[in-house]
Amino acid sequence: MVKLSVIVPFFNVQTYAPDTLRSLRANARADFEFILVDDCSSDGTPELLRQAERELPGAVLVRHEKNGGLATARNTGLDAARGEYLTFLDGDDWLAPGYFSQLLAFIEALGVDFVRADHVQCSGRARSVHRVPHGRRGVVLDPRDAILPADRSTSVDYAYAWAGMYHRRLLDDGLLHFQHGLRTAEDRPWIWRLHREARTFAVAGLLGVFYRRGVASSLTQIGDVRQLDFIHAFDRVIEETARDADADRLLPKAVRTYCAIISHQLGTIERFEPAVARTLRSMSAAAMKRMPQDILKDALNSMDYERAARLRRVRRRAAVSEVSA
Q: Identify the DSSP state of 213.
A: P
Please state the pTM of the whole predicted model: 0.93
In this predicted model, what pLDDT tens digit does every residue of 260-292 receive, in sequence order? 999 999 999 999 999 999 999 999 999 999 999
- For strand 201-212 and strand 94-95, is the pairing parallel, antiparallel, or unpaired? antiparallel
HEC per residue, 241-292? HHCCCCHHHHHHHHHHHHHHHHHHHHHCHHHCCHHHHHHHHHHHHHHHHHCC
User: Which pLDDT value is given to residue 325?
Assistant: 47
Residue 297 has pLDDT above 70, yes or no: yes
What residue type is assigned to position 224 of the chain? D
Sign of CA dihedral 34, 35, 39, 40: positive
Q: Report which of 231, 199, 209 is spatially closest to residue 94, judged by C-alpha positions.
A: 209
Q: What's the CA gap between 258 and 136, in Å, rounded? A: 26
Q: What's the CA gap between 156 and 231, in Å, rounded? A: 17
- Residue 323 confidence class, pLDDT cut points 50, 70, 90: very low
User: Which pLDDT value is given to residue 320?
Assistant: 59
In this predicted model, what pLDDT tens digit does every residue of 231-253 receive, in sequence order? 999 999 999 999 999 999 999 99
- Residue 54 confidence class, pLDDT cut points 50, 70, 90: very high
CB contact set of 161 (below 8 Å; sequence gap of 6+):
74, 88, 178, 187, 190, 191
Report the Cα 212 to chain-centroid distance in Å: 14
C-alpha distance from residue 18 to each of 7, 161, 274 (Å): 16, 21, 36
CB contact set of 282 (below 8 Å; sequence gap of 6+):
318
Mean pLDDT of 90-114: 98
Residue 181 has pLDDT above 90, yes or no: no
Write out the H or E segment, with its range, that includes residue 126. Answer: strand 126-130
Measure the CA angle with vertex 70, ends 178 and 282; round to 5°: 80
CB atoms within 10 A of CB 48: 21
In this predicted model, what pLDDT tens digit does every residue of 199-222 receive, in sequence order? 999 999 999 999 999 765 544 445
Mean pLDDT of 27-41: 98
Please give the biggest Cα pair distance in the chain.
67
C-alpha distance from residue 325 to each of 95, 172, 319 (Å): 55, 50, 10
User: Which pLDDT value is given to residue 215?
Assistant: 64
Mean pLDDT of 294-315: 96
